[in-house]
Amino acid sequence: MRTNKQAYLAIQGGTGEKYPSTFALTVEKPASYQEMEQRLTKIAEFEQPEFMQTEAESGFYFRFNYLNEEYRYYIENVAIQEPIDFRYLFFIDQVSPDILEKAHHADQQIFVETLFGDDPLLSYQLQLKVLYLLAPDLLIGQDLSAGNKVFSREWLSFQTETNLLPNVENLYVIHTVYDEKNDPPAGYWFHTHGLNRLGLPEAELIIPNPLPSYYGVTELIATYVNNCIENKRTPFYEPILAIQTPTHYDYLVAVPWEEGLTYVENLPQLGELGGLEKLPEEVIREDARFLGDYADRDEYHALPSVILFKVQEGGEQLQKVLSYQEETDFMVMKTNKETTEMSERAQKRFPYFRSAFEKFGLPVKPKGFFKKRAKKSQDEWSFLIKFGIRFGKEEGELEHMWFEPIELTETHALAKLINDPYYVDEMQLGGAYEIPLDAITDWHVYRNGETFTSETVYQVFR
């Protein structure tokens, strides 16, 4: 059996093992394998589909080609032995009580498993399309590879209605463990489930002290994961640009958990880190000193994983990641690929925004930055659009700023700026400007204290 040290070395060399990506679909009516095969042939982009059954397996294999790469799935009807207990499961979105009641009494699930190909985001997108075809009567879906998180039929439909690549945060779940003996908690352990199907180690933040807020946890982990995907490698011990503060840049440093645990309370210099070759083949268990320590790690939490630290620009001292006091203390840096994909999602799903704006949007006076918009009274809606405004002479020099739309045409928005520009000299806070819609990079819809983005806007129309 491969040790974690061997696994880390393989990951570093680009030959890390990919764990299966596994889903379970709870359906209203059982379907025969023949019916499933018919459903899977309804999408033309799955080239050269083929079905195979073996005597050794109770299900069947489905393979197809897509963009010159082969994808292979194992699909099986599985009887539910005990009613599903939803109390401790993480839900991506809301599921109505009647649907949950039906799912609780269902007697069958469809089990779908595959190994991701070279592009994990594309592989995930294709697997979602397979799920959608297999279960038109889906009650709930469960991503077993990502902490068993639950999703609805509406979420699956929304994710598969176009060929947009999914947000990287869909590929994993972040579990939060905190000290329940103290109020506020005196320690936190954030860790992912789902990255091992990408051939990456899981990611963790261990914070042995109180936190003013969780702000930044999801963004920081997403930035780290996006960096790994974009560069097709895990940067063990190497600082990667992740955070901009008002005075400096901060870099994330990924250290295998076996070594990282020794640094949580005694932060070393960057040059003092051990390196993969110095990792022990086996870890000697010790008493727990903080959440996420040796004693907290069962077989799942002892798999390859990295603890994220930070180092300040120009410095050598490792630091805890979440030492910021307020949201305004830092901005998470995004990779070029991440920014491009976010902008594409915002533009292709803009019809949802337009529909909500035309139905519910009324001109209101701007009242500060968008963070405060979510706190408006319950009978008001708010709409904000982020545009990339060009400055300077170089291609791609854009300042991303938030605007409140006043009027939308087919090609432009008349919108009021709610940021103080930093680079764009010809705009000022409170000014109204006509901006082409192809400059959109993001948008938010606010209703009753809730925030809807290009990932969740379908919920507005339920």
Nearest Cα to Cα of residue 220 among 235, 234, 240: 240
Q: Is the pLDDT of residue 354 over 70?
A: yes
Q: Is the pLDDT of residue 393 over 80?
A: no
Q: 122: part of which helix (H) or strand (E)?
A: helix 120-134
Please give the pLDDT value at position 356.
94
Please give the pLDDT value at position 367.
46
Q: Is the pLDDT of residue 355 over 70?
A: yes
Q: Is the pLDDT of residue 364 over 80?
A: no
Strand order in the sheet with 412-417: 432-436, 412-417, 398-408, 381-390, 440-447, 450-452
For residues 413 and 13, what is the distance between their CA atoms, to the nearest angstrom?
48
Q: Is the pLDDT of residue 71 over 60?
A: yes
- DSSP, collapsed to helix, strand or coil, labels residue 351 as helix
Please give the pLDDT value at position 376.
44
DSSP 358-369: HHH-------SS
What mean pLDDT is predicted for residues 288-298? 90
Q: Is the pLDDT of residue 244 over 70?
A: yes
Comparing 147-151, 249-253, 284-288, 336-340, which segment has the lowest mean pLDDT?
Answer: 284-288
Which residue in this structure is represented by tokens 């499961």? Answer: 89
Q: Which two tokens stand for residue 184?
A: 């506020």
Please give the pLDDT value at position 362.
58
Q: Is the pLDDT of residue 116 over 80?
A: yes
What mean pLDDT is predicted for residues 393-399? 77
Q: How far is CA 441 from CA 254, 339, 382, in A?
A: 29, 8, 18
- DSSP, collapsed to helix, strand or coil, labels residue 346 as helix
Q: Is the pLDDT of residue 36 over 60?
A: yes
Which residue in this structure is represented by tokens 């993969």? Answer: 276
| Beta-bridge mates of residue 416 | 404, 432
pTM of this structure: 0.90
Please give the pLDDT value at position 326.
59
Q: Is the pLDDT of residue 48 over 80?
A: yes
Q: How far is CA 221 from CA 133, 171, 288, 332, 433, in A?
A: 31, 12, 24, 10, 35
What mean pLDDT is predicted for residues 303-328? 86
Please give the pLDDT value at position 366.
44
Q: Is the pLDDT of residue 370 over 60?
A: no
Domains and CATH numbers, the chain: 18-166 (3.30.310), 171-332 (no CATH), 336-461 (no CATH)
Comparing 137-141, 233-237, 360-364, 409-413, which segment has the lowest mean pLDDT?
Answer: 360-364
Q: CB–CB of 318/253 below 8 Å? A: yes
Q: Is the pLDDT of residue 131 over 60?
A: yes
- Average pLDDT over the chain, rounded to whole? 90
Q: Is the pLDDT of residue 56 over 60?
A: yes
For residues 48 and 11, what is the distance between their CA atoms, to the nearest angstrom?
32
Q: CB–CB of 202/174 below 8 Å? A: no
404 HSE (CA, 13 A, CB side) = 20
For residues 24 and 138, what is the distance between their CA atoms, to the nearest angstrom?
10
Q: CB–CB of 267/309 below 8 Å? A: yes
Q: What is the pLDDT of residues 316-338, one digit of tens each?
A: 999 988 876 655 567 788 888 88
- DSSP, collapsed to helix, strand or coil, labels residue 205 as strand
User: Sign of torsion, CA 241 244 248 252?
Assistant: negative
- DSSP, collapsed to helix, strand or coil, labels residue 184 as coil
For residues 428 and 420, what is the distance between their CA atoms, to the nearest angstrom?
6
Comparing 87-91, 353-357, 359-363, which segment has the lowest mean pLDDT?
Answer: 359-363
What mean pLDDT is predicted for residues 204-233? 90
Which residue in this structure is represented by tokens 């999703």? Answer: 151
Give the residue with greater pLDDT, 202 vs 87: 202
Q: Which two tokens stand for residue 412?
A: 């432009």
Please give the pLDDT value at position 325.
63
Q: How far is CA 246 from CA 243, 270, 318, 415, in A?
A: 10, 23, 20, 27
Please give the pLDDT value at position 329.
66
